[in-house]
Every structure is written in structure tokens, then in C-alpha cells.
């Protein structure tokens, strides 16, 4: 692989990883939590906090990031190696959309509802 192509592949994969993370964060804040955050819980590591999740890890977000990241990275690599149509600069947007959709699917039923209830209380 030539050096310019390697840089292009690196940038495409880097964007493909950050896109889902962006989509998950935006969808979680605006759609799952409805812009309601218990501010005191942001600064505590206590298990009783609404943002504690499972030992500090949001399993729904991790699953959503993994699935949407695989999709986004797979499309970027397949496009760069000529297997499919090259999505090019759109990889991050595809990943962001996939990440948002995945966190909506996982997050509404799991962690988002309890965080919203705690923030409103």
C-alpha cells in the first residue's frame, strides 16, 4: 500500500470510529435523556447516582458503539480496497447515524429512562 493511500485509510478509519461516538452522545443527550441531566450525579461515582450504570460503564453505549463502529469501519475499509462503493468522507456520518439508531434502540429501554426519571425528581 502506498503512503498516501495508507494515510487516507487511517483518516477514514479514524473518522469511522469517532462518528459513532458523536452520534451516540448526541442521541443520548437529546433523544434518550431529553436534555435532562442530574447535575449532581455527573460529579459523583456513587452507585446510587443516576449516571453510575454498571460499575461506571454504560453497556448500552458500548454495544451501540461496537456495532455502529463495525459497520462504519467495514464500509470504509471495503470502499478503500475496492470491494464496494467508496463512501469516502461520508463514513463518519453513516457511523453517527448508526450509533444514534443503536443507542436509541438500546438506551430507551435500559439506562435512559432511569436517568430521565432521576433528573426530573
pLDDT, tens digit only, all 121 positions of the chain: 567 778 877 887 888 889 899 999 999 889 888 888 888 887 877 777 777 777 778 888 888 899 999 998 888 888 777 787 777 667 788 889 999 999 888 866 554 445 444 544 5
| Per-residue model confidence (pLDDT) at position 113 | 47
| Per-residue model confidence (pLDDT) at position 101 | 92
- Cell of residue 84, nine digits: 464496494
| Per-residue model confidence (pLDDT) at position 120 | 47
Asked if residues 103 and 28 have their Cβ atoms less than 8 Å apart, the reply is yes
CA distance 13 to 22: 14
- Cell of residue 46, nine digits: 456513587
| Per-residue model confidence (pLDDT) at position 1 | 59
Q: Where are the domains of the chain?
A: 3-120
Amino acid at each position: 500500500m502506498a503512503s498516501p493511500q495508507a494515510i487516507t485509510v487511517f483518516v477514514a478509519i479514524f473518522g469511522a470510529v469517532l462518528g459513532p461516538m458523536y452520534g451516540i452522545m448526541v442521541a443520548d443527550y437529546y433523544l434518550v435523556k431529553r436534555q435532562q441531566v442530574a447535575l449532581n450525579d455527573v460529579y459523583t461515582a456513587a452507585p446510587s447516582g443516576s449516571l453510575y450504570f454498571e460499575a461506571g460503564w454504560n453497556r448500552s453505549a458500548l454495544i451501540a458503539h461496537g456495532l455502529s463502529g463495525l459497520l462504519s469501519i467495514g464500509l470504509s475499509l471495503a470502499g478503500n480496497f475496492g470491494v464496494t462503493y467508496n463512501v469516502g468522507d461520508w463514513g463518519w456520518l453513516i457511523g453517527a447515524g448508526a450509533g444514534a439508531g443503536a443507542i436509541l434502540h438500546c438506551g430507551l429501554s435500559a439506562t435512559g429512562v432511569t436517568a430521565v426519571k432521576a433528573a426530573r425528581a
